[in-house]
Homo-oligomer: A and B are copies of this chain.
Amino acid sequence: MNSKNLIIPRKLSGFMELLPSKQIIFDNYLEKIKQVFLNNSFLPLDTPILEYSDVLLAKSGGEVDKEVYRFKKGDNDLCMRYDLTVPLARFVSMEKDNLIFPFKRFQIGKVFRGEKPQKGRFRELYQCDADIVGFDDLPIPADAECIKLIIDIFNAINIQDILIQISNRNILFGYCEDLGYSDIISEILIILDKVGKIGKENAILSLEDLSVKHEDALKLINLTEKKGNFENILNEIKNISNNETFKLGVAQLEELNTYLNAYKLDKTKYILDLSIIRGHNYYTGTVFETIMISHPEFGAICAGGRYDNLTGYFSQQKMPGVGISVGITRLFDLLDKNNLLPPIKPSLNKIEIIPLGETIKDCLILEAYLKANNILCQTNYSNKSFKSKMKDANKSQVPYIIIVGENEVASELYPLKNMTTGEQIILSKEDIVKKINNN
């Protein structure tokens, strides 16, 4: 092909693509999270990446959202999914007669957001979601299951310094009602959610702009500053309001705490924190965010909560749910940039077999034997020079090499060379297996 006709190979920005040495670690995270979901009796689901636009955008009344990849194909108006929650809602609405409720499902998959690429933002990202969906109602133990799941996940991927900050939106809903602001609750919550970013004083000014009295603004902010263990904080606040919604929030948190205790979860890993609000309007009860204590600047590395009506756009059947989501692409990227990933290895092989002379066939015989004995290995059968092959073995950081020349073929004894120490021992293939598998 003429070089003038070459297409410059390039990848879209905002799409993570790892070299295999890092992909191994990423896949390992996914695998461990999947195993946690399965061990907690969540069932797998794999919905399509493409959906009808009116279905996926039901919430926004089918309005085009700039962040969504939407296009026409033939007569169909299609969208790439931007989360895993709407597809879940669609699925349980369609399949409710074939499911046992509470329905516990997980899904690990890519979602797509066509937003402008910025630092740390991805247009294609993996989400690891687990949700529990009830039929008519869903008791509070489901919320406790979600908290357990988060603790299990970060244990599994060896991120130990986490803190799950838990709240319940009914507390603030009720308190706002109590103070006489029923009609501007959403607006108040949006401001309270931003106190950390904009500062207390600006938050007060913003609340006053909404016609919240100065003293009420102080009360609200004061309430969101409460955090600590469940018993202490609940005792502190339980009598500040007699509003029914407020009392419901307190009761739900008390019940949740009972189940968290029953699960004997590590109490250093979760607190009640009334500053947690979650932007999304669909959360109606428990809400939570997880941070890394050593890296609060990462923000929420896992979040979720309870929504009373998952399927409201699709069905008159009420199906409340509670769920968690780990944005693993973003988290992986943050860990990587902060050198917090486990050590990277360019190869998983234990042994590289290097032919010297015309011994490729014999190398493959040895390779097949070692593989049959569960030793990861490969033969470097390329046409490169012997020197280049040694270089490649070094580059791949393989722990052992075996050079197979005519003598080795004749004697069936092989020099197993430790690439770290340089030590070399002559072994039969049976003894190689013993040595490697006992290491």
Contacts and interface: CB of A to CB of B under 8 A. Distances in A.
A336 interface: no
A404 to B, nearest CB: 12
A45 B20 contact: yes
Contacts of A94: 9-11
Interface string A6-43: 11111110011111110110110000000000111101
Contacts of A378: 40-41, 104
Contacts of A1: 312-313, 316
A129 to B, nearest CB: 14
Nearest to A312: B1
A321 interface: no
A365 B45 CA distance: 28
A410 interface: no
Contact of A10 (B3, B38, B52, B136): B52
A371 interface: yes
A418 interface: no
B364 A314 contact: no
21 contacts: A1-B313, A7-B54, A9-B93, A9-B315, A10-B94, A11-B94, A17-B48, A20-B105, A24-B44, A40-B378, A41-B378, A50-B123, A69-B73, A102-B382, A137-B382, A139-B382, A141-B360, A141-B381, A263-B365, A264-B365, A264-B368
Given A11-B51, A41-B349, 11 more contacts: A10-B94, A11-B94, A12-B52, A15-B50, A19-B95, A48-B124, A100-B346, A134-B382, A138-B382, A139-B381, A258-B361
A58 interface: yes
Instruction: Tell me how many chains of this kind the complex includes.
Output: 2
Instruction: Classify the secondary structure of A's interface with B.
Output: mixed
A159 interface: no
Interface in A296-343: 311-316
B361 A110 contact: no
B12 A48 contact: yes
B95 A50 contact: no
A376 B71 contact: no
B18 A46 contact: yes
B20 A395 contact: no
Nearest to A89: B9
Interface in A133-160: 134-139, 141-142, 144, 148
Contact of A313 (B6, B314, B348): B6
A90 interface: yes
A379 interface: yes
A182 to B, nearest CB: 21
Interface in A338-396: 346-349, 360-362, 364-365, 368, 371, 374, 376-379, 381-383, 392, 395-396
Contacts of A271: none
Contacts of A47: 11, 17
Nearest to A140: B381
A142 B378 CA distance: 11
A114 interface: yes
A263 B364 contact: yes
A420 B232 CA distance: 48
Contact of A371 (B39, B46, B91): B39
A35 to B, nearest CB: 11
Contacts of A41: 347-349, 376-378
Contacts of A27: 44, 46
